[in-house]
């Protein structure tokens, strides 16, 4: 059976849920993800946002596994440039 025919349902779009959805999508699963918080790109509330972000070697390896490390590095330099 093609994995595209299989659906994975995830609860929570935090760091783990988001990364896992990228891994499962890459493996061919159709992923549905439920998040109780509002979309922070659209929500104006500042509570819960962090002023900095530390990414460990383990984090970089997690991103590299789905080919997202280079994309994140581009954003990192944009943030640093202000």
Ligand X SMILES: Cc1cc2nc3c(=O)[nH]c(=O)nc-3n(C[C@H](O)[C@H](O)[C@H](O)COP(=O)(O)OP(=O)(O)OC[C@H]3O[C@@H](n4cnc5c(N)ncnc54)[C@H](O)[C@@H]3O)c2cc1C
Nearer to ligand X, 16 or 64 (CB): 16
Residues ≥6 apart with Cβ < 8 Å to 31:
7, 8, 9, 10, 21, 24, 25
Is residue 21 within a helix (H) or strand (E), and if so which, with residue range? Answer: helix 15-26
Nearer to ligand X, 18 or 29 (CB): 18
Q: Which of residues 10-69 bind ligand X (CB under 6 A)?
A: 11-17, 34-37, 50, 53-54, 56, 59
Q: Which residues bind ligand X (CB under 6 A)?
A: 11-17, 34-37, 50, 53-54, 56, 59
């Amino acid at each position: 059976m093609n994995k595209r025919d299989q659906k994975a349902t995830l609860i929570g779009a935090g760091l783990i849920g988001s990364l896992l959805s990228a891994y499962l999508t890459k493996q061919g699963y159709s992923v549905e993800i439920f998040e109780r918080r509002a979309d922070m790109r659209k929500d104006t509330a500042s509570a819960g946002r962090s002023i900095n972000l530390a990414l460990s070697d383990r984090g970089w390896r997690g991103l590299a596994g789905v080919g997202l490390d280079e994309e994140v590095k581009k954003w990192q330099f944009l943030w640093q440039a202000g």
